[in-house]
Amino acid sequence: MGYELNRKICDLIPYEPISGDYSIRLDANESPESFPPEITQQIKTAVDSICFNRYPDPYAKELISAFAEYYNIDPTLVTAGNGSDELIFLIESAFLEKGDKMLVVSPDFSMYSFYSSICEVECDTFYKDNTLNIDVDSLINRINTTNIKLLIFSNPCNPTGQGITAQQAQRLISSVNALVVLDEAYMDFWDQSLINQVNSFSNLIVLRTASKAVGSAALRLGFAISNRTVSDAIKAVKSPYNVNSISQAIGTIIYRNKEYLTSRQKMIVRNKEKLYNELVKISEKQVDFIVYKSFANFIFIKTPYGKEIFDYLRDNSIVIRHMGEYIRITAGTDYEIDRVVCCIREFFSR
Ligand SMILES: *Cc1c(COP(=O)(O)O)cnc(C)c1O
């Protein structure tokens, strides 16, 4: 007798984020600061009234109502998830059948294709052009000629920071028969959202998360927004108590602090501009250091020195993300930006 893991999982290794104690973390696109005392006080009060012996509200009504009010959308079109990661997995496993094919773009968020392999769904890749942009016409053509049932991509894109406009996205969605999952994890930093247009499409799911601009990665809160038919289907296939009571209670409070959230998001966008401008100055003196414009809260850079820069920064207690010939740096606080830029200058002047 004996048991062997099947082939799709036997070689997988558990996800390991960069671990260790670093003084500056610019690797995961999180918000640079936690909540101020006024908000943490509201949170403590709310946690005090949770019934810990009871299951959470399966439809997270209060949370969704606060989320929908924040974005000025219809709450009946929203489903809450345990992070948008849960929703991505759920959508890929439920909205595709055996033999169906999905499409991802590259470079993009790697979890999309990872989950497809667990779901045993075939997954094709559409490559962006060498400016890292999506050629919308050839993407439409690819979907329609290769029988793609689901397209998923992030807009603006993690890791490139680039994006397609709302108008381009509308044209894409209305030109294909596939379900389009538009992951707007970073759209709070840009203004090209389709979150309030889901009723115009039979084939659109917009994803949002509380982990980035909303500064609540610890809570694991994601949201799927789509027309009523698709939305009811997501609610029907999700696990009943997927979002715990603590996250529901705290998330409700956070989305109700609209002024605080929007002003902090503006601050992050200003910091991103500053980081971009400083990095561009470095690139003007440095061939092999190409800085891309970004609509998100991070900057993407192409450089053959990626690994060396990553190591040098880590030795200075700063972590960023390194991926092959690219690095990605989250826009942190003013101080963090000064530190990372200073260290990169030092790296090149050695
Ligand atoms: C960070 C990120 C997410 C993850 O969101 P969670 O809600 O924390 O699971 C989803 N999509 C993209 C593109 C991201 O960068």
- Beta strand ranges found along the chain (DSSP E): 24-25, 78-82, 101-106, 122-127, 150-154, 179-183, 204-209, 221-226, 290-291, 298-302, 318-319, 321-323, 326-330
Single residue among 192, 221, 256 that ends a domain in this structure: 256
What's the one-letter identity of residue 254? I
Q: Which atom of ligand 1 is nearest to the CA of 85?
A: 9
Residue 335 and residue 186 share a domain? no
Centroid of ligand 1 to alpha carbon of 83 (angstroms):
7
Spatial distance between the Cα atoms of 324 and 322, rounded to a whole number of angstroms: 6
Residue whose CA is closest, atom 14 of ligand 1? 185
Asked if the structure places residue 174 within a domain, the reply is: yes
156 burial (CB, 10 Å; 0-12 / 13-18 / 19+) is: buried
Residue 94 and residue 28 share a domain? no
- Identify the H or E element spanning 114: helix 111-118
Asked if the structure places residue 65 within a domain, the reply is: yes
248: tokens are 């529901």
Asked if the structure places residue 169 within a domain, the reply is: yes
Q: Say if ligand 1 is within 6 A of residue 82 CB.
A: no
What is the pLDDT, as a whole number, of residue 1? Answer: 86
Centroid of ligand 1 to alpha carbon of 155 (angstroms):
11
Residue 266 and residue 232 share a domain? no
Cα 147-91-249 angle, rounded to 5 deg: 160
CA-based torsion, 319, 276, 331, 162: positive or negative:
negative
Residue 335 and residue 201 share a domain? no
Residue 233 and residue 98 share a domain? yes
Residue 115 and residue 216 share a domain? yes
Asked if the structure places residue 302 within a domain, the reply is: yes
* End-to-end C-alpha distance for the chain, whole angstroms: 60
CA distances from 243 to 49, 66, 89 (A): 17, 15, 15
Pocket test for ligand 1, best of 30, 105, 109 (most atoms within 8 A of CB): 109
Instruction: Give the SS3 label for residue 154.
Output: strand
Centroid of ligand 1 to alpha carbon of 346 (angstroms):
32
Pocket test for ligand 1, best of 91, 110, 211 (most atoms within 8 A of CB): 211
Q: Say if ligand 1 is within 6 A of residue 84 CB.
A: yes
Asked if the structure places residue 329 within a domain, the reply is: yes
Asked if the structure places residue 168 within a domain, the reply is: yes
CATH of the domain at 285: 3.90.1150.10
Residue 324 and residue 176 share a domain? no
Centroid of ligand 1 to alpha carbon of 285 (angstroms):
34
Residue 149 and residue 118 share a domain? yes
124: tokens are 């094709």
Instruction: Tell me how many domains the chain contains.
Output: 2
Centroid of ligand 1 to alpha carbon of 211 (angstroms):
7
Q: Say if ligand 1 is within 6 A of residue 159 CB.
A: no
Please, which residues have CB within 8 angstroms of residue 107's CB and are 6 or more apart in sequence?
Answer: 128, 132, 157, 159, 160, 323, 326
Q: Say if ligand 1 is within 6 A of residue 85 CB.
A: yes
- Report yes or no: 158 and 29 within 8 Å, Cβ to Cβ: yes
- Whether pTM > 0.85 for this model: the answer is yes
141: tokens are 């053509």
Residue 311 and residue 183 share a domain? no
CA distances from 206 to 155, 225, 259 (A): 10, 5, 23
What is the pLDDT, as a whole number, of residue 108? Answer: 98
Would you list the DSSP string of 282-328?
A: HHHH-TT-EEPP-SSSEEEEE-TTHHHHHHHHHHTTEE-EEETTEEE
Residue whose CA is closest, atom 2 of ligand 1? 185
Q: Which atom of ligand 1 is nearest to the CA of 81?
A: 7
Q: Say if ligand 1 is within 6 A of residue 183 CB.
A: yes
Q: Say if ligand 1 is within 6 A of residue 294 CB.
A: no
What is the pLDDT, as a whole number, of residue 19? Answer: 80
**What are the 10-residue block averages of pLDDT along the chain, 350 residues in total?**
93 86 96 95 96 97 98 98 98 97 97 94 96 97 98 98 98 98 98 98 98 98 98 98 98 98 97 98 96 98 97 97 97 98 96
Residue 275 and residue 231 share a domain? no
Q: Which atom of ligand 1 is nearest to the CA of 29?
A: 1
Q: Which atom of ligand 1 is nearest to the CA of 86?
A: 9
Asked if the structure places residue 119 within a domain, the reply is: yes
Single residue among 194, 221, 256 that ends a domain in this structure: 256
Pocket test for ligand 1, best of 67, 181, 183, 209 (most atoms within 8 A of CB): 209
Q: The domain containing residue 227 runs over which residues? A: 37-256
Asked if the structure places residue 157 within a domain, the reply is: yes
CATH of the domain at 61: 3.40.640.10
CA distances from 103 to 68, 123, 149, 223, 313 (A): 29, 5, 8, 21, 35
Residue whose CA is closest, atom 15 of ligand 1? 158
Residue 48 and residue 30 share a domain? no
Q: Say if ligand 1 is within 6 A of residue 193 CB.
A: no
Single residue among 256, 288, 303 that ends a domain in this structure: 256
Q: Which atom of ligand 1 is nearest to the CA of 109?
A: 13
CA-based torsion, 254, 259, 265, 267: positive or negative:
negative
Residue 179 and residue 43 share a domain? yes
**Among all chains, which residue has been given the structure tokens 């990661």?**
85
